[in-house]
Amino acid sequence: MNPVALGASDLRVTPVCLGTMTFGEQVAEPLAHRILDRALERGVNFIDTAEMYSVPARAETYGATETIIGNWLARNPSARGQLVLATKVAGPSRGMPWVREGAGMTAADIIASCEGSLRRLRTDVIDLYQIHWPERNVPMFGGLYYDPAQERTQTSILQQLEALATLVRQGKVRHIGLSNETPYGVHEFVRLAEQHGLPRIATVQNVYCLLSRALENGLDETLHRLGVSLLAYSPLGFGLLTGKYDAAGTEGPDAPRQARIARYESVRKQRWGRPEALAAARRYNQLARDHGLSPARMALAFCYTKWQVASTIVGVTSLAQLDEDLDAWGTRLPPELLAEIDRIRWEMRDPAN
């Protein structure tokens, strides 16, 4: 995997990134360390985490993922120089008072969260520090409609940028990014950075997979024209696009109990638990089989080869899953298969947006 540049930054990362939100919940620390070892052995140089991980978010596991990674880095001091390490500051609470007091995300919150991440990760600098979700009101995590009446903004985008700039000046952060953002948000962060001489965002980390392609309806043009790189998360749709739920569904006695959607009621209540998402996944998964591919390989290859994507974030719970995801790199989907994928999308749209 040849490294790719992130935005206009000097960060060069592998086009497959190891996502770590399962560490500390589905994946215990010893296995997490073996997964990190294997990823490094196989050439992956990009690790993504967040202060609120592991997922599903609970007070008891807040910061657990960063702590696990920090312990691994402490035991493997040479690894830090080989890696691009990304983490995120949580946005407004969303029912997680253990993340911080108050409903907003102030400049002081950004500074404090970064310092907490540095301590847990046991590192002096974060290569890519991202805002996990917008401070302002936007539809996200499956929300469909923007409602101006729900606006509760307390910290302007300029103030957020100034706080991030402080961290960059202090040498605690190298580059900044966003996550779960809209075209408006990306434009404002870039415009204000250029107007005020503040750090420019290098990346946006948004959901992108066969079940959720809304970014192709405008955000992709924004990123392309502004020179901001996309980090695509959930390429396998929380497991829906692996085929593991095709036979028994996501709930009930025959559902795969250790798989994420079946295991956690909180996940089933979100976009990945929608019946429409499962119905579309079954169509895509059968299409993959009809073309001699595993569902996971087709879904990953779709992300790996799209011009919109700089790096695809894969989350795993075993070494076998990691190897499968990495082995899918290099797969090319023929034009006729891509056309069939688009026909299914035209019919079923984006049920996990």
Positions marked active-site: 53
Contact between residue 329 and residue 39 where contact means Cβ atoms under 8 Å apart: no
* Residues 150, 298: Cα–Cα separation, whole Å: 39
Tokens matching residue 280 = 């579309």
Pairing of strands 201-207, 229-233: parallel
* Residues 186, 179: Cα–Cα separation, whole Å: 10
Residue with tokens 């605690």: 172
Q: Give Cα separations from 299 to 80, 97, 180, 286, 287 (angstroms).
A: 31, 35, 21, 12, 11
* Residues 25, 220: Cα–Cα separation, whole Å: 33
Please give the angle made by the CA atoms of 331, 319 and 42, to the nearest 5 degrees: 60
Tokens matching residue 50 = 């967040």
Tokens matching residue 158 = 């300029």
